[in-house]
Amino acid sequence: MLILEGIPLFLIELGIGQKMRLGSLGVWNTIHPWLGGMGVASCTVTFFVALYYNVIITWCFYYLFNSFQSPLPWAECPKLDNGTVVPECDKSSETAYFWYRTTLDVSPSMDETGGLKWWIVLCLLLAWLIVFFIVMKGIQSSGKVVYFTSMFPYIVLTIFFIRGITLKGASAGLAHMYTPKVEKLLTPGVWLDAAVQVFYSFGLAFGSLIAFGSYNPPKNNCVRDVILVSLTNAITAIYASLVVFAILGFKAMSNVDKCIEHGIESASGISSLHIAHDVYENIVANADNNTIHNFGIEACSLQEQLDQAAEGTGLAFIVFTQAIVELPGAPFWAIIFFLMLLSLGIGSQIGILEGMLCTIFDIDFFKRIRKQYLTGFVCLICFVFGLLFTSGAGEYWLKLFDSFASTIGLVLIALLEMIAVMFIYGHQKFTQDIYDMTGYRPGLYWQVTWRFLAPFIMSIILVSSIVFMVIDPPTYAKWNANEGRTEKERYPPWVMCIAVIIVMASILPLFLVFILRRFQCLKVDLDIHQGAIKRIDTTVSTREMIGDVDVSIPEDWVMYNSRNR
């Protein structure tokens, strides 16, 4: 997915932004007025993602604040007044209880809101204040912060890597990482998730890359940037995976050891023999089902523990926290782990918000408003809407937005971007643009992926994902407090209606702007270009920007650029 889809689209977005010196809204309006909805659609998707992405940062803040104590609050189950362990924690685990009950105070289902959790609301407010103060002064200040947010995680990953590979069970986790499951590759949802992951890792189809490209010097070697960033991204992903699976292997081995110890203690008739772990494993391996049942023997499988490793939020807040508890000096590991997650999250949120703000500032109407005021207003709106995710059902809503707001919409926008640049703007013209800017003419790999492979792959993923979503309705994992575990349940009909509205809100601008401009209900004007000039404060040939689109250029704008070339 990275080679056939991610890298080609990466160069398209970065190159077209650098060439035209415009944000997402301005680029697609310039290529063709009928495509103006693509910038609005990208901005809409970015808005939805910004809403819930900062909630993940919020949870990291809450865990970070709770990491400055020993023992860690998720290291043991709380007890009732009579001295017994809380049943919900006893049936689940210490880390699962802290996540679902202490942190989220989760509702039984999406039908019950559960009210706002004040401690999460305060952390959300803190997260948005930090993002606001970083972004408010523009790309110059936020760019400096990114130096830290991009480098600090490498330091933490290296520390965890050195510690992780020395832990018992690390080799089993790494072996599990490189053991493919071919049957999973036949599921369209896996390919959709892979495509969306590529989009997230690069920031594709959000409009952020186009915005960042517009700030580049006109002769910047964007091809070199794409290759270097792609290689760095791939190496980092592999490196991080090694750390994650080493820790998962350690956690799985710890669970197996606990299972064996519990089995030895509770097995009737053999508990007094004090048999060793390896002997117990041989007994379980050679015993039939009746023997296991009669003697109360527990079948402790390392492979089963590895297969049950959590994903998404559970990976960071349940699995990793459980592994951290097992490490000597657990508070230290917890602090640097959540500092790393905060660095990654804030860095990504800066890019997401910059892409959205760039689109807004490219409109002439908003250039009269000071950057700080408009940024503050956007952050305030996002905070207010984000309160939905601080309720008892907040995690369920976050999963809904993550599944619908940024999957189908992103793939469709990316597909249309490919078509717009290759077949409307023209692949020969874009190739020449790259050559003029970098001195490098894209060869066979770029031409084949741009014009054929990437659009074909994205079309197949998009169609098959929609079909399978209809055939097999999506579900969410609700928390069963009585059983101490999650259960799969289909979304209620009213929630699915909201999901459809979210998807339609992401893609409707594509068709709405097309129809309005096709029938001349919406005129093309230069407000976008004027806003971009103020935003970038750069000097380029505007005639070169607009290509063949019939848009009149103010004479003073042309003279300004001619004098400063």
Helix (H, G, I), strand (E, B) or coil at 349: helix
Which residues sit in the known binding site? Answer: 201, 233, 344, 348
What stretch of H or E contains 490? strand 485-490
CA 287 to chain centre: 45
pLDDT, tens digit, 9 for 90 and up, residues 236-265: 989 999 998 888 888 888 777 777 776 666
**Residue 543 belongs to a domain:** no
- Give domain status of residue 282, yes or no: yes
Q: Do the domain assignments include residue 430?
A: yes
Which residue in this structure is represented by tokens 């939905």?
388
Distance CA 119, CA 127 (A): 13
* Interval 70-100: pLDDT, tens: 899 999 989 888 888 898 988 888 898 999 9
Q: Count structural domains, the chain.
A: 1
Residue 488: in which H helix or E strand, if any? strand 485-490
Residue 564 lies in a domain: no
**CA separation, residue 32 to residues 11, 419, 482 (Å):** 20, 12, 58
More confident call, 60 vs 560: 60
Count CB atoms within 10 A of the CB of residue 522. 15
Closest by CA to 199, choosing from 390, 418, 510, 526, is 418
Residue 70 DSSP one-character state? S
**Residue 469, in any domain of the structure:** yes
Which residues does the annotation place in the binding site for Na(+)?
201, 233, 344, 348
**Which of 163-172, 280-289, 500-509 has maximum average pLDDT?**
500-509
Q: Which domain holds residue 138?
A: 2-538
554 in any annotated domain: no
pLDDT value at residue 143: 64
Which CATH number goes with the domain that contains 375? 1.20.1740
- DSSP assignment string, 404-444: HTTTHHHHHHHHHHHHIIIIIIIHHHHHHHHHHHHS----H
Contact 450, 12 (CB under 8 A): yes
CB 357 within 8 A of CB 135: yes
- 438-474: string of b/e by CB count within 10 Å (b at 16+)? beeebeeebeebbbeebbebbeebbeebeeebeeeeb
Q: What is the pLDDT of residue 110?
A: 92
| pLDDT for the residue numbered 256 | 78
pLDDT at 257: 78
393 neighbors 107 (Cβ within 8 angstroms): yes
438 located within any domain: yes
pLDDT for position 56: 94
Tell me if residue 480 falls in helix, strand or coil.
strand
In a 3-state reduction of DSSP, which class is residue 216?
coil
pLDDT in tens, 270-281: 544 555 555 656
Q: Looking at the domain assignment, is residue 546 inside a domain?
A: no
Q: What is the pLDDT of residues 374-408, one digit of tens each?
A: 999 999 999 999 999 999 999 999 999 988 887 88
